[in-house]
């Protein structure tokens, strides 16, 4: 019915465009709040260097924001263009947060970002500060609603299947937005954005300090970002732990894949620090284990246990057997919505409807399903273990690395001697790609770990895609790759260029450690100084 190649190409296209979009989003989430912090200092102390800072980092934000908005358009439409069955099947629930995102958050963010950039001379200081705060709030509220939608895919609460309309329907909006997965996922992602921006700002500031340029601005930016980052990194790690705790109960297959856990052992369970999972043989080829840690991390107790993949596959087989009559009843209901016998059969088996769909990939005619097909589908119910396992370890390692870096950065900047620690400044430069890689790895853990489902336990990925031809998919995939490659080259070029040109300073006190001299912080700026732009 649906071509497997088309599904694969649709998945590749979605993953590529989402990962690409997610290069720009975290920086916006965090940098907008850093800008708000800088401008808050400007307004409360009146020192104009903080205005220069807000304007300089604001300029970099805009280069990033343009591509974030552009690639976000793709995401908004791709559910309909490439995942049409998914969209009609869960649109009743999934569409609502996307629409609310527009109403509540994106309108606010986009309207005020125009005023933030163009309104410096038209708004009072207080008004402009409020506008900047609203941009930061708006961008993070956007993330909130997107993650409410995503949270539904991970843990579909607050909804039920309606055999009359043949789709999932919303039953409780509060359950949807207050689901534990949504809550912890939102805070984790938003704060990961703060970390990303903090690394970016410390890295670029370190670049200036290494070259002894814009010292006052760089030192202040570094200080603010280091403190911002050290607290945010702690938050990200705390929330990551909370998220793992939630996954243990709502997505056991994801958790088992993250931990490379094939067979459940007796509590307290050991943690696989390093392992090479072999999905065909259901074992790890090489393991370095830390005793007791898994129970402690995932269940927050020494006696807690989580299920291994072997047990989960057995459970999936039972669910598939139970789900098959539900799909058959549904087909009868589609022909005659008033068929009472079919309705009764459906109600008896409805909890495993999704598992019935899962096996349909191998047995389109469910009346002839064989035990071999059932166990094939059950094997499918486990996500790609090695990929999830290693993405997870990469993300955690990067998180801990950033925590160590921010610890040192905060220490030295609080002593006001970071400008002399050349090694730390060089490290800061090398740290710039790290949060971006961690963000991407986090996306992979969350979304690869959700497979083979688009909506966990409810709708399999293979059914969700649109019924396009391979030609169409090849055409669109090539188009996206071509366009996005051009875009990233332009964006990187402009970003690096803007960083090299550096801030235009009006109130730089210019304190250099080598030659201390009295300076006037925040002295009034002569009007002519405003016209010193390098271009135009």
Partner 1 sequence: MDLYAVAQVIWWLLLGVLLMGLAVMVGMDMGVGAILRYVARSDLERRVALNIIGPHWDGNQVWFILGGGAIFAAFPLIYATAFSGFYVVMLLLLWTMIMRPLGFEYRSQIAQPAWREAWDWVLLVSGAVPMIVFGAAFGNLFRGVPFHFAWNLTSFYTGSFLGLLNPFAIVTGVLSLSLAVMMGALTVMNGAEGAMFQRARGLAQAAAGTGLALFAIGGFWVHAMPGYRLTGGPGEGVPQTPLQQAVTTAPGAWLANFGAHPILWLVPLAGFAGMIGAWLAARAGRSHLGWWLGALAWIGVIGTAGAALFPFMLPSSTDPSMSLTVWNSSSSETTLLWMAGFAAVFMPLILWYTGWAFWVMRGKVSAEKIARGDEHAY
Partner 2 sequence: MRTFLHFILFMVVAAVVIVLAAILGNVGAWYFAWLVGTTMIVLISAASAALLDAQEEQALGGSGVFDSHGQT
Q: Does 497 bind partner 1 (CB under 8 A)?
A: yes
Nearest to 35 by CA among 142, 130, 141, 146: 130
Helix, coil or strand: residue 303? coil
What's phi and psi for 290, nearest 5 deg?
-110, 125
Tokens describing residue 181 = 């997965």
Q: What's the min distance (Å) between Cβ of 533 and partner 1? A: 4
Q: Does 48 bind partner 2 (CB under 8 A)?
A: yes
Q: Does 77 bind partner 2 (CB under 8 A)?
A: no
Per the listing, tokens 């990187």 go with: 492
Cis peptide preceding 422, ω within 30 of 0: no
Stretch that binds partner 1, among 157-165, 184-192, 208-216, 443-451 (CB under 8 A): 157-165
**How many residues belong to the site for partner 1 (CB under 8 A)?**
90
10 Å Cβ neighbour count for 334? 12
Q: Does 412 bind partner 1 (CB under 8 A)?
A: no
Nearer to partner 1, 5 or 422 (CB): 5
Which entry of partner 1, partner 2, none binds 219, CB below 5 to 8 A by partner kind? partner 2
Q: Does 130 bind partner 2 (CB under 8 A)?
A: no
Cα 436 from Cα 116, distance rounded (Å) = 26
How many Cα neighbours within 13 Å face the side chain of 460?
25
Buried b (16+ CB within 10 A) or exposed e, 223-252: bbbbbbbbbbbebbbebbebbbbbbbebbb
CA distances from residue 181 to 104, 172, 261, 451 in whole angstroms, order as listed = 21, 16, 22, 17
Tokens describing residue 49 = 């260097």
The only residue of 46, 337, 364, 433 in contact with partner 2, by rule CB under 8 A:
46
10 Å Cβ neighbour count for 268? 18
Tokens describing residue 133 = 């705060």
Q: Does 531 bind partner 1 (CB under 8 A)?
A: yes
The only residue of 101, 317, 321, 352 in contact with partner 1, by rule CB under 8 A:
101
The only residue of 21, 214, 220, 393 in contact with partner 2, by rule CB under 8 A:
220
What's phi and psi for 291, nearest 5 deg?
-65, 145
Nearest to 196 by CA among 69, 419, 362, 33: 33
The only residue of 82, 132, 251, 272 in contact with partner 1, by rule CB under 8 A:
82
Stretch that binds partner 1, among 100-108, 390-398, 413-421, 422-430 (CB under 8 A): 100-108
Q: Does 55 bind partner 2 (CB under 8 A)?
A: no
Q: Does 126 bind partner 1 (CB under 8 A)?
A: no
Q: Does 214 bind partner 2 (CB under 8 A)?
A: no
Mark 1-40 with x for binding to partner 2 (rule: CB under 8 A) and - for no binding. Answer: --------------------------------xx-xxx-x
Nearer to partner 2, 120 or 276 (CB): 120
Nearer to partner 1, 116 or 242 (CB): 116
Nearer to partner 1, 517 or 536 (CB): 536
Q: Does 522 bind partner 1 (CB under 8 A)?
A: no
Which entry of partner 1, partner 2, none binds 92, CB below 5 to 8 A by partner kind? partner 1
**How many residues belong to the site for partner 2 (CB under 8 A)?**
55
Helices (H), 46-124: 49-82, 84-100, 107-118
Nearer to partner 2, 36 or 275 (CB): 36
Largest CA distance in the chain: 90
The only residue of 472, 474, 521, 522 in contact with partner 1, by rule CB under 8 A:
472
**Centroid of chain to Cα 288:** 29
Sequence-separated (6 or more) residues with CB below 8 Å from residue 403: 230, 233, 234, 237
Q: What's the min distance (Å) between Cβ of 37 and partner 2? A: 5
Cα 530 from Cα 534, distance rounded (Å) = 11
Q: What's the min distance (Å) between Cβ of 111 and partner 1? A: 3
Nearest to 156 by CA among 504, 368, 459: 459
- 222-251 binders of partner 2 (CB under 8 A): 223-228, 231-232, 235, 239, 242
Query: Over 159-185, what HEC string results?
Result: EEEECCCCEEEECCHHHHHCCHHHHHH
The only residue of 46, 291, 337, 513 in contact with partner 1, by rule CB under 8 A:
337
The only residue of 8, 12, 16, 84 in contact with partner 1, by rule CB under 8 A:
84
Q: Does 99 bind partner 1 (CB under 8 A)?
A: yes
**Using CB under 8 A as the criterion, which residues of the chain lie in contact with partner 2 when the complex forms?**
33-34, 36-38, 40-41, 44-48, 50-51, 140, 174, 177-178, 180, 183-184, 186-187, 190-191, 194, 219-220, 223-228, 231-232, 235, 239, 242, 413-414, 416, 506-507, 509, 511, 516, 518-525
């Amino acid at each position: 019915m649906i071509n497997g190649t088309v599904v694969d190409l649709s998945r590749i296209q979605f993953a590529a465009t989402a990962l690409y979009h997610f290069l720009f989003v975290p920086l916006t989430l965090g940098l907008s709040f850093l800008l708000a912090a800088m401008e808050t200092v400007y307004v409360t102390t009146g020192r104009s260097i903080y205005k220069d800072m807000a304007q300089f980092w604001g300029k970099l934000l805009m280069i990033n924001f343009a591509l974030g908005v552009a690639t976000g358009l793709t995401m908004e439409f791709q559910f309909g263009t490439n995942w049409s069955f998914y969209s009609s099947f869960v649109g009743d629930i999934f569409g609502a947060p996307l629409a609310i995102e527009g109403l509540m958050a994106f309108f606010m963010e986009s309207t005020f970002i125009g005023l933030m950039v163009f309104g410096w001379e038209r708004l009072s200081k207080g008004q402009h500060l409020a506008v900047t705060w609203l941009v930061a709030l708006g961008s993070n509220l956007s993330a909130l609603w997107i993650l409410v939608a995503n949270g539904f895919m991970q843990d579909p609460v607050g909804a039920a299947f309606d055999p009359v309309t043949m789709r999932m329907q919303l039953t409780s909006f509060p359950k949807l937005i207050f689901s534990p997965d949504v809550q912890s996922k939102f805070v984790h992602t938003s704060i990961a954005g703060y970390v990303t921006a903090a690394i970016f700002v410390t890295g670029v500031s370190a670049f200036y300090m290494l070259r002894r340029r814009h010292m006052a601005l760089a030192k202040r930016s570094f200080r603010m970002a280091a403190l911002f980052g050290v607290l945010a990194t702690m938050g990200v790690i705390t929330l990551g732990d909370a998220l793992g705790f939630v996954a243990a109960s709502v997505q056991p297959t994801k958790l088992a894949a993250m931990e490379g856990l094939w067979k459940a052992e007796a509590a307290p369970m050991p943690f696989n620090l390093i392992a090479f999972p072999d999905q065909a043989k259901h074992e790890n080829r090489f393991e370095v284990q830390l005793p007791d840690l898994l129970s402690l991390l995932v269940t927050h107790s020494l006696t807690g246990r989580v299920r291994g993949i072997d047990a989960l596959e057995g459970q999936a087989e039972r669910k598939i057997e139970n789900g098959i009559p539900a799909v058959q009843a549904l087909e009868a209901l589609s022909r005659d919505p008033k068929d009472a016998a079919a309705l009764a059969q459906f109600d008896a088996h409805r909890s495993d409807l999704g598992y019935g769909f899962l096996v349909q990939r191998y047995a389109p005619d469910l009346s002839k399903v064989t035990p071999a097909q059932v166990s094939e589908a059950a094997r499918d119910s486990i996500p790609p273990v090695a990929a999830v396992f290693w993405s997870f370890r990469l993300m955690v390692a990067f998180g801990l690395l950033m925590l160590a870096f921010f610890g040192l950065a905060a220490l030295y900047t609080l002593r006001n001697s970071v400008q002399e620690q050349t090694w730390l400044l060089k490290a800061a430069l090398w740290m710039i790609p790290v949060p971006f890689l961690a963000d991407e790895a986090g996306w992979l853990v969350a979304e690869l770990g959700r497979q083979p489902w688009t909506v966990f336990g409810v709708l399999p990925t293979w059914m969700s895609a649109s019924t396009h031809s391979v030609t169409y998919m090849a055409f669109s995939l090539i188009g996206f790759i071509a366009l996005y490659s051009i875009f990233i080259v332009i964006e990187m070029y402009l970003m690096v260029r803007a960083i090299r040109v550096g801030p235009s300073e009006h109130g730089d006190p210019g304190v250099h450690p080598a030659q201390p001299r009295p300076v006037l912080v925040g002295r009034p700026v002569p009007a002519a100084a405003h016209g010193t732009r390098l271009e135009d």
